[in-house]
């Protein structure tokens, strides 16, 4: 039996607060027709509070795109877990490849952030994934294994069930080049095996594994049909209500059809 899909939109550095409100109003209306998908949107920090007000009484959850690992303090430019909670966030994306690449975040820092998020009951969506050079050198499994070990595998057994993992191959982000469903499934089943070996099969089977990288309405079904793909982390296609709503509908249909057969 497949898990209820989780579809998350990462808006990256797009949308002013007023543009975000317009987008979320349309999405909110579309979400009424959806009952079997967990929907999360992650706007920029500056739009969180206003979007949260629009989302009141809506099944759509709010998430942030980053967070610092200290509860408060002299950390100019950073955002704390309490600030995210205060802005209505239930989720936070951590360790996105753009944070790793442009802001030099490493797995040790990402692990600290994951622990802090969990301490404050914020669900971390922890990203892992290899670059094109790493895949071409056939190091993709080793790279993801090391990222997993250092950022996630150091969590205690009682914390791991609250984590969501996103596999985002860097070469597929914003490039229009999706990993094929088979390539994605291969890595997802590998991550599932890492979870099973580090924790237990029972724990491993419960953790949602999202795929991210050029997810669009027309490739959602073929990805979501794979046994270890439990959802998607969507960038570009989450910036338009129509395409994000279509992805959500595709995920719902695939889930409902899969569980009937
Ligand atoms: P795209 O869907 O634009 O490729 O972005 C993926 C991503 O980075 C989501 O976090």
- Is 233 close to ligand 1, i.e. is its CB under 6 Å away? yes
Distances (CA, A) of 254 to 69, 172, 197: 37, 22, 29
3-state secondary structure of 17: helix
The per-residue pLDDT string of the chain (261 residues; one tens digit each, 9 = 90 and over) reads 789 999 999 999 999 999 999 999 999 998 888 899 999 999 999 999 999 999 998 999 999 999 999 999 999 999 999 999 999 999 999 999 999 999 999 999 999 999 999 999 999 999 999 999 999 999 999 999 999 999 999 999 999 999 999 999 999 998 888 889 999 999 999 999 999 999 999 999 999 999 999 999 999 999 999 999 999 999 999 999 999 999 999 999 999 998 765
96 is known as an active-site residue: yes
Check residue 177 and give its pLDDT. Answer: 82
Q: Do 11 and 20 contact (CB within 8 A), yes or no?
A: yes
Q: What is the Cα–Cα distance from 224 to 250, expressed in whole angstroms?
A: 9
Q: Is 88 left (phi over 0), alpha (psi -120 to 50) or beta?
A: left
Q: How many A from CA of 10 to the centre of ligand 1?
A: 7
- Is 42 close to ligand 1, i.e. is its CB under 6 Å away? no
3-state secondary structure of 41: strand
Q: What is the 3-state secondary structure (H, E, C) of 76-119?
A: CCCCCHHHHHHCCCCEEEECCHHHHHHCCCCHHHHHHHHHHHHH
Q: How many A from CA of 96 to the centre of ligand 1?
A: 10
3-state secondary structure of 55: coil
- Is 63 close to ligand 1, i.e. is its CB under 6 Å away? no
Check residue 260 and give its pLDDT. Answer: 63
Q: Do 133 and 123 contact (CB within 8 A), yes or no?
A: no
Residues listed for the chain: 261
- Using the Cα atoms of residue 189, residue 225, residue 162 and residue 247 in order, give the sign of their dihedral: positive
Residue minimizing CA distance to atom 7 of ligand 1: 235
Check residue 145 and give its pLDDT. Answer: 98
Among the listed residues 98, 105, 130, 168, the single catalytic one is 168
112 is known as an active-site residue: no
- Is 41 close to ligand 1, i.e. is its CB under 6 Å away? no
Torsion of CA 105, 160, 150, 120, to 10 degrees: 40
Check residue 174 and give its pLDDT. Answer: 85
Point out the ligand 1 atom lying closest to the alpha carbon of residue 173.
4
Check residue 178 and give its pLDDT. Answer: 83
Query: Which 8-state DSSP code applies to residue 150?
Result: I
Residue minimizing CA distance to atom 5 of ligand 1: 235
């Amino acid at each position: 039996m497949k898990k209820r899909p989780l579809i998350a939109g990462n808006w990256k550095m797009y949308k002013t607060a007023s543009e975000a409100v317009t987008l979320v109003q349309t999405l909110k209306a579309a979400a009424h027709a959806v009952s079997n998908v967990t929907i999360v949107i992650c706007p920029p920090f500056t739009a969180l509070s206003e979007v949260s007000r629009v989302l009141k009484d809506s099944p759509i959850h709010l998430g942030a795109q980053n967070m610092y690992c200290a509860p408060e303090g002299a950390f100019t430019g950073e955002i704390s877990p309490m600030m995210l909670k205060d802005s209505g966030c239930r989720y936070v994306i951590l360790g996105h490849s753009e944070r790793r690449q442009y802001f030099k975040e490493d797995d040790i820092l990402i692990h600290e952030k994951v622990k802090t998020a969990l301490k404050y009951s914020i669900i971390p969506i922890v990203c892992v994934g290899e670059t094109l050079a790493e895949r071409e050198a056939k190091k993709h499994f080793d790279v993801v294994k090391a990222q997993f070990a250092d950022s996630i595998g150091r969590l205690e057994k009682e914390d791991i069930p609250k984590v969501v993992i996103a596999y985002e191959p860097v070469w597929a982000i914003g490039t229009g080049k999706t990993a094929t469903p088979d390539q994605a499934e291969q890595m997802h089943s590998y991550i599932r095996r890492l979870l099973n070996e580090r924790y237990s099969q029972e724990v491993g089977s419960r953790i949602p594994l999202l795929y991210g990288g050029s997810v669009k309405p027309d490739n959602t079904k073929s990805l979501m049909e794979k046994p270890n793909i439990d959802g998607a982390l969507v960038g570009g296609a989450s910036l338009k209500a129509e395409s994000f709503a279509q992805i959500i509908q595709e995920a719902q249909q695939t889930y409902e059809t899969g569980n009937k057969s």
